[in-house]
């Protein structure tokens, strides 16, 4: 077991304060810090803090895959860590995007390989052969667009905006089944010629302004989001697409699980994100990055997403709260030490013999493994190799740890 130093990723939509303050670093930072990666992704691996200095987690896995990953995990996923852990801090909206299924990723990767596109080319969609299921858990109030809303909800929203130019699109959506109507309308908007977008988007923005001036509340969040996106990305089809998606506000501890084909855009907030160790993203707008509309349409699932907020469930004696997901690559839980447990060694529930990544979000805790001990405070992380588990916790104050393991 070693302390784990995350790799900072700087993107324009990041925060100059959130990650720095969470980890105890100087704030504000010179550049926006968007993500802190704790994993072994070749693009930016985290580093183990050892007695001999820093060592890449990726190098450690390559040197001793059996000891670091364990026999069971190697048998299922080979010699690579199957998950990637991130701390995400968004001060501005991220791109409108979705991720492929495994079959789509394998096919897309092969096509782009045959086309001779370099894996790091900016126009590349598929950088590996893996799907990318992910979960985002709010550490602060977290704003997001995620999954298509039921058609009746989007129809009601568009009618509330009272924009004459939306009338034919309301008819298109309401005249078909949910999935067919959403597919038809989204495809129409995302492929609209720019001159048409330059007329329709401002009309929708005017409708949102008038709606908010009228003091109505039912669709106030949606209307404000339309205005915010329209200001940042004028004439972008993604502004219209936001009318078709669930507009969510997560309280701290609540989560969204995003399977393949789920269209989404994170808007603002700090979250703990876990995903399969993949970098496959299909973008449809709200970004200066590469947008591939035909490929996005190939992977999207237009089935309305309902009840998509995930809340942790207690297991065993309640010391561990687990976020239920079907992803085989990862499992996410919260370990807490409080009340009568304070001052005593507590055995963390043993899920299996694979590796673990721990991130402390509250308090201070000493973590004991078979051969080593580390102390974690808020913002600190640790890597627990497979051959060093299970772990025990001891704390004198209320403590919360996020734990990521391989899925069962």
Query: Active-site residue numbers?
Result: 283
Do residues 349 and 382 touch, judged by C-beta distance below 8 A? no
Cα distance between residue 76 and residue 237, in whole Å? 41
Burial class from Cβ neighbours inside 10 Å (0-12, 13-18, 19+) for residue 292 reads middle
Three state DSSP letters for 11-58: CCCCECCHHHHHHCCCCCCCCCECEEEECCCCCCCCEEEECCEEEEHH
The token pair at 88 is 């995400």
CA dihedral 132, 137, 143, 145 (to 10 degrees): 30
In 233-386, which residue ranges form alpha helices assigned H by DSSP?
A: 237-241, 293-299
The token pair at 274 is 């876990």
- Give the three-state DSSP class for 247: strand
Cα distance between residue 120 and residue 43, in whole Å? 10
Cα distance between residue 169 and residue 196, in whole Å? 13
CA distances from 212 to 143, 201, 224, 247, 371 (A): 19, 17, 8, 16, 60
Q: At what angle are helices 220-232 and 194-213 packed, to 10 degrees?
A: 140
Cα distance between residue 134 and residue 239, in whole Å? 24
Cα distance between residue 387 and residue 355, in whole Å? 8
Running DSSP on this structure, what letter comes out for residue 94?
P
Do residues 285 and 96 touch, judged by C-beta distance below 8 A? yes
Backbone angles phi, psi at 20, to 5 degrees: -60, -45
The HSE-up count of residue 207 (CA atoms within 13 Å, CB side) is 24
Cα distance between residue 115 and residue 237, in whole Å? 28
The HSE-up count of residue 35 (CA atoms within 13 Å, CB side) is 17
């Amino acid at each position: 077991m070693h302390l784990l130093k995350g790799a900072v990723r700087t993107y324009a939509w990041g925060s100059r304060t959130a990650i720095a303050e969470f980890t105890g670093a100087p704030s504000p930072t010179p550049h926006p810090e968007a993500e802190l990666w704790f994993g072994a992704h070749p693009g930016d691996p985290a580093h183990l803090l050892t007695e001999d200095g820093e060592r890449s987690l990726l190098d450690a896995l390559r040197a001793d895959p059996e000891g670091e990953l364990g026999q069971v995990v190697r048998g299922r996923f080979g010699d690579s860590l199957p998950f990637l852990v991130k701390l995400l801090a968004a001060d501005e909206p991220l791109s409108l995007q979705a991720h492929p299924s495994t079959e789509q990723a394998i096919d897309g990767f092969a096509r782009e390989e045959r086309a001779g596109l370099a894996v790091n080319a900016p126009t590349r969609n598929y950088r590996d052969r893996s799907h990318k299921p992910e979960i985002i858990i709010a550490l602060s109030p977290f704003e997001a667009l995620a999954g298509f809303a039921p058609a009746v909800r989007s129809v009601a929203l568009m009618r509330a905006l009272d924009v004459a130019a939306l009338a034919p699109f309301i008819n298109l959506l309401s005249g078909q089944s949910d999935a067919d109507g959403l597919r038809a309308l989204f495809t129409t908007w995302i492929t609209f010629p720019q001159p048409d977008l330059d007329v329709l988007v401002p009309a929708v923005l005017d409708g949102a302004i008038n709606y908010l001036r009228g003091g109505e509340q039912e669709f106030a969040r949606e209307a404000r989001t339309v205005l915010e996106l329209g200001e940042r990305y004028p004439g972008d089809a993604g502004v219209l697409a936001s009318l078709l998606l669930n507009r969510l506000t997560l309280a701290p501890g609540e989560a969204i699980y995003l399977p393949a084909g789920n269209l989404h855009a994170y808007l603002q907030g700090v979250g703990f994100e876990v995903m399969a160790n993949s970098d496959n993203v299909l973008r449809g707008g709200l970004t200066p990055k590469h947008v591939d509309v035909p490929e996005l349409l190939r992977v999207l699932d237009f089935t309305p997403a309902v009840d998509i907020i995930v809340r942790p469930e207690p297991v065993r004696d309640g010391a561990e709260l687990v976020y239920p997901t079907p992803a085989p690559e990862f499992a996410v839980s919260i370990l807490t030490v409080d009340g009568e447990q304070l001052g005593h060694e507590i055995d963390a529930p043993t899920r299996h013999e694979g590796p673990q990544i721990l991130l402390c979000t509250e308090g201070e805790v000493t973590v004991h493994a078979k051969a080593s001990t580390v102390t974690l405070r808020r913002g600190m992380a640790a890597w627990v190799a497979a051959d060093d588990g299970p772990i025990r916790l001891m704390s004198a104050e209320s403590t919360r740890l996020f734990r990521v393991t391989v899925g069962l």
